Amino acid sequence: MAKPKLKNTESPKKSEPRGLTELGSGPAKPKRQLEAFPNAHPDRDTVVTFHCTEFTCVCPVTGQPDFGELEISYVPDKRVLESKSLKLYLWTYRDIGIFHEDVVNELLDALYDFLKPRWMKVTGRFNIRGGIGIDVSSECDGPAGS
């Protein structure tokens, strides 16, 4: 009996890094420039979640640093956010005086406008100060651009 021939299967789809300038570029600096790559699976509702555990901004009243964690979840449409550009983008908040509610909504607006995902949610969990911790969530859902 002859052995069946194995079919030469194609390799799985791979992400295309074309156009990404920060990934692998060496020492990083804070930068307000987000980057994305094409979604290899635009036909699926894939949930992507970033856990940003070292977020820092400044209280706009006292000037004291505020520390917290951000969770950014979204369902990409045509583009997927590149994580190093997100890290450098978030780093720019280190010296910005902004309320917790404002930073979460500002991030949601910027990321949603840039990616035009099917759905996105940003949650900030800010460290306890004066005995009070603050969690803020904001989301956009529906077709991109609505």
Q: Per the structure block, which two tokens stand in for 52?
A: 């940003």
What CA–CA distance (Å, rounded) separates 17 from 88?
Answer: 18
**Residue 20 CB-density burial (10 A; 0-12 exposed, 13-18 middle, 19+ buried):** middle
Rounded to whole angstroms, the Cα distance separating 88 from 34 reads: 8
Write out the catalytic residue numbers: 59, 66
Give the whole-angstrom CA distance, residue 94 versus residue 66. Answer: 9
DSSP string, 75-124: E-SSEEE-HHHHHHHHHGGGG-B--HHHHHHHHHHHHHHHH--SEEEEEE
**CA–CA separation, 51 and 90 (whole Å):** 12
